[in-house]
A and B are shown apart, each in its own frame.
Chain A
Amino acid sequence: MARAGAFPIGHAALAVAAILAVGLALAPGALPWATAYPAAWVVPFDAWIGEGARWLTREAAIGPFLVKDLTRAVGAVVEAPVVLLQDLLVKGFAIGGVSVGPVSWLGVGALFTCLGLAARDSRLAAFAALTCAYAALLGLWDSAMMTLALVLVAVVYGVLAGVILGVLAFRTARFRAVVDPVLDFMQTVPVFGYLVPAILLSGYGPAAALLITLIYAVPPMARVTTNALQQTDPEIVDLGRMVGCSPGQVLRRVLLPSQRPRLMLGVNQVIMLTLNMVIIASMIGAAGLGYDVWQALKSLHIGKGAEAGIAITLLAILLDRLSQRFGALRPDHHGHARPFIHRHRWVLVGVGLALASTALGVVVPAVARFPADWTVTSGRFWDGVVDWINIHGYDAISVVRDSLFLYVLRPLKEGLLALPWLGVAGFVAVLGWALGGARLALLGGVLTAFIALAGQWEKAMISLYLVAVAALLASLVGVPLGFITARHPRLRRIAEPVVDTLQTLPSFVYLIPTVMLFSVGDFSALVAVVLYAVAPAIRYTDAAVRQVPAAAIEAARAFGATRAQLDCRVVLPLALPDIVLGLNQTLMLAISMLVITALVGTRDLGQETLIALSKSDPGQGLVAGVCVAFIAIVADRLLRAWIARRRARLGLEP
């Protein structure tokens, strides 16, 4: 077998490749073309892609219609529910010449609270009420409703699209082979790289916002769906067939419902990622909380930006918990015996309250719109906090920053930049061979070489350095934290909302204060990336440690293992594959932050997409974006191959 055979050769080959890489770096005179990729050999992918994008967005036609017009017509239909919801929640309607105001703030709050009660969770109901009160009190009500309208529709589309793609990938292996790399691209190509073509094809406004949101948020749902279906017990499928289900019925009535808990994990990711995109969406015409954050931070009103950012987080957590609760409710098999009104009493009460308070709002304006003079703001306070840290803590901060910069970051960056492109490509290929055989070797080598071919080598190395350092720091923080929360349920209850906040608070909110405290440059970028990417390291480690079989731990105890031995010799090795899966996610999130790091002045591939945007050059932006995706794909495939190998050795399920 090629796989088994590859392993012993692997170590020797790895050593050879490493020596080759270092040797080429130390002797740059020997093969200059293998060290720094010659500028004359750069393939003008950017010009080709730019021309292709220009043609597609401006000239391409199907029959008598321009592609652009067709996609825009589709966009208009797709965005219709958003427009409808925004009318309902913010702008109001006119029915038969009589104008009807939007649903009152009190009514929306009551409805959400009742939904919490309908999900049989009174704490969630209280959280819903608090979230609505927060938005109203801080004067963010209209913005929050605009965002809610966009996010609700995006989440529904995202879940539907993800399930459909996931099912298709499960059904046909060939489709899976095609869709898998496409999903990688969707998740990792920085949005600024394709912003202009996306706008041209879908039009400014909700449609474009939906498009870029879906591109980012669908992949996890699709992956989770395929995964879940693959792990279904075949006996359940057989049962479905035996009771006479058609293949479609097996899917809808048996397979998908039986995997509901797993699918809900995908829904959670769609919600989180959708809310992550609201700031970028505001740059292309979607008003709402994202615009508030963006505008406040542009004028350095940090407190105001943070308030709007926290509203985004609260909204994310509320939508996530509501969907999770409803998803977890057992289907009510006796439900039909009880009257409809009884089964849905809370939902009906909520809708009733919403209608009643909207009607009351006609007479009492304060019910219809939250009065502006009742609103409060803590903006000045937070501005003051940042100023205080800036003035009094700067010296201490700069010592840490400068020493990290001088002794870790700069040497590492210069070291990576000195590596020869051919040596690195060769090393990746050999590593791929050792871990996964010839196909992985070919994939790794070719994708790495492409980056040099496209003339992006230097920027790619800087990107790699940022991402690697950030992922390393995130795991150094996240893995121990995950261990601790796995052992102490009480700490986990504290850690969970913190992790949620880190994942959903728009990175812009902490990016600007970070720059104020750490100045522009790589260090600020690292801080922001680590804050965002640490979440999966904590989550996956926590889950992995808790899933270590109790029998293994009992056995070790019986042999008299100490606490430290237990951790190092039993828990860690058994949990390691899942922990590395979390680190893989950390790495992917770090890569997806490259689009943000460029905003604070790193000279990486993300910056290339920003420059391309300023020059209106979609070719340049897409090529840089594709290089980012290639880095992600290579890292992901190598890590996964290692995990599979490791699991096989431990005798765990693949």
Chain B
Amino acid sequence: MIEPDRFDRYSRTEGVGRSRRASMTEGEKTMIATMRRLVARVGLAVALAAGAMPDDARAQVPESAEPIKLVMMGYSGDNIIMLIYGKLLQKLGYTVEWTPADYLGQFAGLETGDLHIGSPGWDTTAKAALKAAFDTGNVLNMGKMGIPVQEDWWYPLYVKDVCPGLPDWNALKEPGCVEALSVAETSPRARFLSGPIEWGGYDQERIDALGLDFDVIHAGSDGALTADFVAAIKRKQPIVGWTWQPFWLPTLYEGEFVEWPAYEDACYDDPAWGPNPDLAYDCGRPSGEMWKTSWAGGEAIWPKAYAVWRAFQLDSKTMGELVYRSDVDGVATEVVADEWIAANEAIWSPWLQ
């Protein structure tokens, strides 16, 4: 048996009760497991509804040996959150499986109960998908992670040489700055490297409203965006692009966010607001939230684990340090999670109460 604390990618998928099932064919095992799960769920629901369950049995943790499946979406910061939470669950005796899943694809799994605890969904990139998932009634909103996320136009520090006056946005209007930032595809206008179009950053609207001489070039994916960005930074090419925080890119490379007229709701709703009296979107981006999500059906199976997830909170400073430790110091994410748990018992022990 693999000890629960050792983090190995495949020990994550280790189930419980394997020994009892070993002599059957795998098909039978799966059928029996499914039936057992159904019976357990129905039984639990009936018992809870009737209030017939004795108090001590309900309080027993873990309530079920069924593995809880946590989403791993591949980014260091998000993975560390899921690792810390999962390792805390293991301390309570739960069986945990960390399952790879796509950031947006995870919602289909959370809806059906194939995945149980979602990787935090960001307002900035998954607003529509979050809403659609919550609307099905099968995905729970477990509250804010406590880390405000920032996303906006960002530049590496050396861009200040060609666009003096940054971080103030007016510096982007200078002809010399526009010329330095232009490429063949956009010439004579400057190039703004944005994220996938579906992230909805209102870049074009902002460019029009503030009279900037920029063309928006959309990267089709986060991978392409960072590849283009980092390659430009490495050859010291002037570039302004879309980035967010907490994230490894602004952690790894020195740079700043452009400073716009600060966001207010009125800026997006009311054209009269802001520097341009005729158009909306003449301001920076609102900061967003990171939302914790989970499969609704798990509430009845692992109430304690769900309570821990609701209580789970990290702040931006901590998150930044964890990402730094992983991406700049090059420490494996599992180790980063272990270190944090070892050093911060005072923070996490209340979550387990």
Q: A residues within 8 Å of B by Cβ?
A: 68, 73, 76-77, 79-81, 83-84, 86-87, 90-97, 99, 142-143, 146, 195-196, 199-200, 203-205, 282-287, 291, 294-295, 297-300, 387, 390-391, 394, 398, 401-402, 405-406, 508, 511-513, 515-517, 519-521, 524, 597-603, 607, 610-611, 613-616
Pair A512/B99 contact, Cβ less than 8 Å: no
Show 17 A/B contacts (Cβ-Cβ < 8 Å), sorted by A: A77-B31, A84-B26, A93-B22, A94-B19, A96-B22, A142-B8, A196-B108, A199-B109, A285-B100, A287-B10, A294-B100, A298-B74, A298-B75, A299-B327, A508-B223, A597-B220, A616-B132
By a CB distance below 8 angstroms, the chain B residues around A402 are: 183-185
9 cross-chain pairs, A with B, having the tightest CB-CB distances, nearest first: A204-B114, A516-B231, A94-B19, A80-B26, A402-B184, A283-B102, A204-B109, A515-B227, A616-B132
By a CB distance below 8 angstroms, the chain A residues around B11 are: 91
Find A610's partner among B126, B217, B220, B327 (CB 8 Å cutoff). Answer: B220
User: A186 vs B128: C-alpha distance in the bound complex, in angstroms?
Assistant: 28
Closest CB in chain B relative to A39 CB, distance in Å:
19
By a CB distance below 8 angstroms, the chain B residues around A291 are: 74, 100
Closest CB in chain A relative to B228 CB, distance in Å:
5
Q: Which of B166-174, B193-201, B298-306 contacts A (4 or more CB under 8 A)?
A: B193-201
Find A99's partner among B1, B8, B10, B74 (CB 8 Å cutoff). Answer: B1
Pair A76/B31 contact, Cβ less than 8 Å: yes
Pair B25/A95 contact, Cβ less than 8 Å: no
User: A371 vs B264: C-alpha distance in the bound complex, in angstroms?
Assistant: 56
Q: Which of B183-222 contact A (CB under 8 A)?
A: 183-185, 193, 196-199, 217-222
**B224 interfacial contact with A, CB 8 Å:** yes
Closest CB in chain B relative to A524 CB, distance in Å:
8
User: A83 vs B19: C-alpha distance in the bound complex, in angstroms?
Assistant: 15
Question: A204 and B101 in contact (CB under 8 A), knowing A96-B22, A196-B108, A601-B220?
Answer: yes
By a CB distance below 8 angstroms, the chain A residues around B198 are: 610-611, 614-615
Residue of A nearest to B75 (CB): A298
Pair A519/B26 contact, Cβ less than 8 Å: no
**B281 interfacial contact with A, CB 8 Å:** no
Question: A391 and B234 in contact (CB under 8 A), knowing A195-B105, A196-B108, A285-B109?
Answer: yes
By a CB distance below 8 angstroms, the chain A residues around B223 are: 297-298, 508, 511-512, 515, 599
Residue of B nearest to A204 (CB): B114
Find A405's partner among B10, B132, B185 (CB 8 Å cutoff). Answer: B185
Closest CB in chain A relative to B200 CB, distance in Å:
9
| Proximity bits, B115-136, A CB within 8 Å = 1, else 0 | 1000000000010110011000
User: A607 vs B197: C-alpha distance in the bound complex, in angstroms?
Assistant: 9
Closest CB in chain A relative to B191 CB, distance in Å:
9
Residue of B nearest to A296 (CB): B74
Residue of B nearest to A399 (CB): B184
Of A77, A599, A614, most buried by chain B (CB within 10 Å of CB) is A614
Pair B105/A83 contact, Cβ less than 8 Å: no
Residue of B nearest to A302 (CB): B227
Residues of B in contact, count (CB < 8 Å): 68
By a CB distance below 8 angstroms, the chain A residues around B224 are: 511-512, 515, 520, 524, 599-601
Residue of B nearest to A512 (CB): B227
Pair A80/B25 contact, Cβ less than 8 Å: yes
Q: Which of B67-118 contact A (CB under 8 A)?
A: 69, 74-76, 99-102, 104-105, 107-109, 111-112, 114-115
Main secondary structure, interface of A, reads helix
**B318 interfacial contact with A, CB 8 Å:** no
**B248 interfacial contact with A, CB 8 Å:** yes
User: A146 vs B112: C-alpha distance in the bound complex, in angstroms?
Assistant: 24
Pair B248/A299 contact, Cβ less than 8 Å: yes
Pair B109/A602 contact, Cβ less than 8 Å: no
Pair A200/B101 contact, Cβ less than 8 Å: no
By a CB distance below 8 angstroms, the chain A residues around B100 are: 282-283, 285-287, 291, 294-295
Pair A390/B231 contact, Cβ less than 8 Å: yes
**B225 interfacial contact with A, CB 8 Å:** yes
Pair A199/B228 contact, Cβ less than 8 Å: no
Pair B75/A519 contact, Cβ less than 8 Å: no
Pair A93/B18 contact, Cβ less than 8 Å: yes
**B58 interfacial contact with A, CB 8 Å:** no
Pair A76/B30 contact, Cβ less than 8 Å: yes
Find A284's partner among B74, B102, B132, B183 (CB 8 Å cutoff). Answer: B102
By a CB distance below 8 angstroms, the chain A residues around B104 are: 613-614, 616
By a CB distance below 8 angstroms, the chain A residues around B30 are: 76-77, 79-80, 83
User: A560 vs B155: C-alpha distance in the bound complex, in angstroms?
Assistant: 69
Find B126's partner among A199, A601, A614 (CB 8 Å cutoff). Answer: A614
Find A146's partner among B10, B22, B74, B128 (CB 8 Å cutoff). Answer: B10
By a CB distance below 8 angstroms, the chain B residues around A81 are: 26
Question: A200 and B197 in contact (CB under 8 A), knowing A94-B1, A287-B100, A600-B224?
Answer: no
**B316 interfacial contact with A, CB 8 Å:** no
**B36 interfacial contact with A, CB 8 Å:** no
Residue of B nearest to A508 (CB): B223
Pair B10/A406 contact, Cβ less than 8 Å: no
Closest CB in chain A relative to B40 CB, distance in Å:
17
**B287 interfacial contact with A, CB 8 Å:** no
User: A68 vs B113: C-alpha distance in the bound complex, in angstroms?
Assistant: 13
Pair A285/B114 contact, Cβ less than 8 Å: yes
**B256 interfacial contact with A, CB 8 Å:** no
Question: A204 and B74 in contact (CB under 8 A), knowing A284-B105, A287-B100?
Answer: no
Pair A607/B220 contact, Cβ less than 8 Å: yes
By a CB distance below 8 angstroms, the chain B residues around A287 are: 9-10, 13, 99-100
**B34 interfacial contact with A, CB 8 Å:** yes
Closest CB in chain B relative to A400 CB, distance in Å:
11
Of B9, B100, B230, most buried by chain A (CB within 10 Å of CB) is B100
Question: A516 and B111 in contact (CB under 8 A), knowing A142-B10, A285-B101, A615-B132?
Answer: no
By a CB distance below 8 angstroms, the chain B residues around A286 are: 100
By a CB distance below 8 angstroms, the chain B residues around A391 are: 234-235
Residue of B nearest to A612 (CB): B198
By a CB distance below 8 angstroms, the chain A residues around B29 are: 80
Question: A204 and B13 in contact (CB under 8 A), knowing A285-B109, A520-B224, A616-B132?
Answer: no
Pair B225/A520 contact, Cβ less than 8 Å: yes
**B27 interfacial contact with A, CB 8 Å:** yes
Residue of A nearest to B195 (CB): A601
Closest CB in chain A relative to B331 CB, distance in Å:
13
Residue of A nearest to B125 (CB): A614
By a CB distance below 8 angstroms, the chain A residues around B76 are: 299
Question: A199 and B218 in contact (CB under 8 A), knowing A283-B101, A391-B235?
Answer: no
Pair A515/B231 contact, Cβ less than 8 Å: yes
Residue of A nearest to B196 (CB): A610
Residue of A nearest to B249 (CB): A300
Pair A599/B220 contact, Cβ less than 8 Å: yes
Residue of A nearest to B132 (CB): A616
By a CB distance below 8 angstroms, the chain A residues around B197 are: 603, 607, 611
Residue of B nearest to A100 (CB): B22
| Proximity bits, B148-176, A CB within 8 Å = 1, else 0 | 00000000000000000000000000000
